Structure 1
Amino acid sequence: MATPVKVYGPTLSTAVSRVLACLIEKDVRFQLIPLNMSKGEHKKPDFLKIHPFGQVPAFEDDSISLFESRAICRYICEKHPEKGNRALYGTNPLAKASIDQWLEAEGQNFNPPTSVLVFQLAFAPRMKIKQDEGAINLNGEKLAKVLDVYERRLGESRFLAGDEFSLADLSHLPNTQYLMSTSKSEMFTSRTHVSRWWSEISARDSWKQVVNMQATRN
């Protein structure tokens, strides 16, 4: 039996949970090694050998190491094409290109405003940090424009990259999960196609397992 891959980082991290969801979708065995970020474990020399920027997640598969969650997800899918969800990263060049373009849209257009909103609305209160209303309003406006594009796309296609659930959809799960418990949830539920899409992707067993891990490990 193959040695489980190792994922370093806390499950509350959106980037870590992205990788975990991918591993579960692909039915790849893994060992989660949570780090105590408040104690600076992600800045220690041994960890910096795996992730030179001292962030999470870091990933090890036997003798190789990787960082950056989207790159890790692509690697997992490419290494294990026959395992688990075979369509997760496409089965032909056109499917992969479509997934990649929406992954880029997530990374370049969706992630920047939602990351700010997740921090301001979900994490700042826990950390007893004063919320920046200006940042919340500005990034709410940016997110609205992105979701308008998604609404049009999802009116034409069941999922972002086509008719199959893919990495493009999976990559949106972590940030959206946090926002759905904030005042910004209406931005998703008020858009018919976005709301339908979110209900479908968030109901996947892989994501339910990740959410359960977040509840039990943190």
Structure 2
Amino acid sequence: MDDRNMVLNLMPNADFGYKVHGDPFSTNTRRVLAVLLEKGLFYEPITVDLKTGEHKRESFLSLNPFGQVPVFEDGNIKLCESRAITQYIAYVHSSRGTQLLNLQSHKTMGTLTMWMEIEAHQFDPFASVLTWEQVIKPLYGLETDQTVVEENEAGLENVLNVYEKRLGESKFLACNTFTLVDLHHLPNIQYLLGTSTKRLFENRPRVCTWVDDITGREAWKMACDHDKSWFGK
């Protein structure tokens, strides 16, 4: 069964009452949507308008005092921080849909955890700034700082050099199957593919193949299709 059919077949069968407070254009919100769709889970999307500052108002701060999206609700459980949310969903539904946590041994668990930390602390700091400067700022009518872009591209290149070597050892970053490690990279990569930073991925053959593989997943395509994944059209 291909990714598309798996997602479509799973989605109607699971109403767990999950709520996602966020913005479908937000990288962190998309990260959570991707996991829900990989698992074929139903959720209720609740839009938080970032442009009007709704995430800084008291009504939202009662959900997340740090004023950041998304917030995930599972009954009386309320979670923030997208990577924590994805791990919760993947663990609770470990036997459903795509197996995103490879926890077969202490070794695989350690490797998976390490690469999730690498994404968060090595890749994301550079990628998030590049996304902000080249994609988000123009949407707000702000000017891109090319000096900042160049500095962060230099940092990202060093990270991608490590990735290029690693991807010569396994098909995906943590192991030979798609996991949360790869999924966590998707939001920033997707935005950066529409910028000049795209060349940093294309110039590294193994990284380029990896990017093609993970961005081509049906669940991810659906996560990026706001009409379907968020507004239900």
- Mapped contact 1:11–1:214 kept (Cα < 8 A): no
- Are the structure 2 counterparts of residues 95 and 27 from structure 1 closer, same or farther at C-alpha, using a change threshold of 3 Å? farther
Which position in structure 1 is the counterpart of 2:55?
42
- Mapped contact 2:70–2:82 kept (Cα < 8 A): yes
Structure 1 window deviating more from structure 2 (147-156 vs 44-53): it is 44-53
Is 1:204 the counterpart of 2:217 in the alignment?
Answer: yes
State the alpha-carbon separation in 2 of the partners of residues 217 and 2 from structure 1.
16
- Mapped contact 1:4–1:28 kept (Cα < 8 A): no
Which position in structure 1 is the counterpart of 2:4?
none
1:143 to 156, 177, 184: 156
Q: Deviations for 1:16-38, whole angstroms, at most 9, x for unmatched residues?
A: 00000011112222111111122
Q: Deviations for 1:74-127, whole angstroms, at most 9, x for unmatched residues?
A: 1111111111112x0113233222211111000000000111100111112222
Is 1:65 the counterpart of 2:78 in the alignment?
Answer: yes
Amino acid at match of 1:89: L
Amino acid at match of 1:209: M
Q: CA deviation at 1:214?
A: 6.8
TM-score, with length taken from structure 1: 0.94
Is 1:91 the counterpart of 2:100 in the alignment?
Answer: no
State the alpha-carbon separation in 2 of the partners of residues 99 and 85 from structure 1.
15
**In the TM superposition, what are the counterparts of 1:17-28 in structure 2 within 5 Å?**
17-28=30-41
Q: CA deviation at 1:212?
A: 1.2
Amino acid at match of 1:173: L
Deviating beyond 3 angstroms after TM superposition, the runs of 4 or more aligned structure 1 residues are 214-218
Aligned residues: 217
- Mapped contact 2:19–2:43 kept (Cα < 8 A): yes
The percent of aligned pairs where both chains have the same amino acid is: 40
Q: CA deviation at 1:41?
A: 1.7
**In the TM superposition, what are the counterparts of 1:1-218 in structure 2 within 5 Å?**
2-86=15-99, 88-92=100-104, 93-213=106-226
State the alpha-carbon separation in 1 of the partners of residues 16 and 184 from structure 2.
26
TM-score, with length taken from structure 2: 0.89
Q: CA deviation at 1:2?
A: 4.3
